[in-house]
Structure 1
């Protein structure tokens, strides 16, 4: 037996739903057919992808690692299959939050002027790699350290960190703050796509109370609603001003690198043009002496 695309689609349906029943409904197959296809894939790969030992299915470590590779393969196939029905091949640029900050409009307009034959689609995806690792986009604007295997990055600039506070907070009108001044507060942490962790604080002044959120909108709601304070970068302050929000510079927090990332291997042919323009619009303006 050889692995076919249907095996990948079946596994991805199971990975998305964590249920053979729901995967079968999505694929319009019977449950035995889905189970049989999964077993064939596992046997051919020689690894176990799904743990069936509990009441609820779960991906094994091999399953988690294989999921992104399978998604990339299916996305590439679907993209190639649909090529003949397109008049152009869009370049998909992902971001998890704030895109290129205030340079976003310039980047998009310059691209449209200089490469009108290739639409540049900006997509927000709440994921650490903004969908790049699983093949949802061709390139991504990301912040912080990028550790996902198979990705190549180039740094464009850095952004200073700022504290996010309710506008009526006693510290909101300060010219600047230190991290230790936030240590006794509840901190909102975006564990899905954010770059702030408790390791940012000194060990002797680490906040004891946190709440976990999954995207920038929920982060803003938590802060403006008075549930927590947070740490972000200047791009959030520029892109997401809010009358109930105050952004205050932090004096002792290291800046956050902003990188452009793409997959190592076959890629969209316009990636080099995007890299050059991103360095010109974002990097040079911010990094000049």
Structure 2
């Protein structure tokens, strides 16, 4: 029997929902019909794809590999069908505050130029979101080196120091990048754009506190446990009553890049979005 699209969508839905009951409700078919569909797929590929557990089902090793590939294929297919129907759009991932009003101007310019929609989606793990097809492209600060991901540098932003408002440093009109290394430095390892390697080897912070989100980063600084650095646009978007932002001398600038799955490099909507991302002017 030939594998049909309905077999693939059924498998992805069952594996994602974790039970045949939930999947049948989502697909609007009976459980016996859904069970037969999965059995037909397993017979066609010649291996078991789902294992029953006390709580439902989960993919086998082969099923897990197939699931990852199918999610990408089906998302690309849905995107192509939407475009053919005149409902084209892009989902743009980001991790934290984007430069404003540049980001808003970019989305407006894209929608005006193409007639397609553009939606911003916050995702911490941008590489995973791009690989899975959860987002079509992403605006990301800092360096990203991942297979299957292409990108282009859009521009660079200045940094500000972030210190507790009650700290002595908060009274300074300006700080040097080297000044921060004399204090504990907090680093957001998931989506941040600062690393101990940003300082020269002879002047790196002696103590580094790691966190996993921008909110955690702000809270640690507000408590006086550490200092940090962020971009000017992020500082404007995320204010905190107990965090002061101070201009920095000699700080490395932060790159903002547009990333996309390499397999979609020829996508005309992505190419147009990239052109506009380079051409839309930033506020000085």
TM-score (ref. length: structure 1): 0.70
Distance 2:267 2:88 in 1: 9
Who is 2:105 aligned against?
106
Who is 2:150 aligned against?
152
Distance 1:69 1:238 in 2: 40
1:73 aligns with 2:70: no
Distance 1:233 1:167 in 2: 18
Distance 1:135 1:208, change over 3 A: same
Who is 2:27 aligned against?
none
Distance 2:216 2:156 in 1: 24
SS of 2:206 mapped into structure 1:
coil
Give the unaligned 5+ runs of structure 1.
46-56
Who is 1:170 aligned against?
168
SS of 2:108 mapped into structure 1:
helix
Distance 1:252 1:26, change over 3 A: farther
Distance 1:211 1:10, change over 3 A: farther
Give the unaligned 5+ runs of structure 2.
25-30, 48-57
Q: How does 1:255-274 map to 2 (within 5 A)?
A: 255-266=253-264, 268-274=267-273
Structure 1 residue 44 displacement after superposition: 7.6
C-alpha distance after superposition, 1:219-267 (max 9, x if no partner): 2233234343222222212322333322223334321221111222246
Distance 2:107 2:243 in 1: 28
TM-score (ref. length: structure 2): 0.71
Distance 1:233 1:143 in 2: 10
SS of 1:219 mapped into structure 2:
helix
8 Å CA contact 1:91, 1:268 repeated in 2: no
Moved more, 142-151 or 268-277: 268-277
Structure 1 residue 27 displacement after superposition: 4.8
Q: How does 1:206-285 map to 2 (within 5 A)?
A: 206-214=205-213, 216-266=214-264, 268-282=267-281
SS of 1:121 mapped into structure 2:
strand
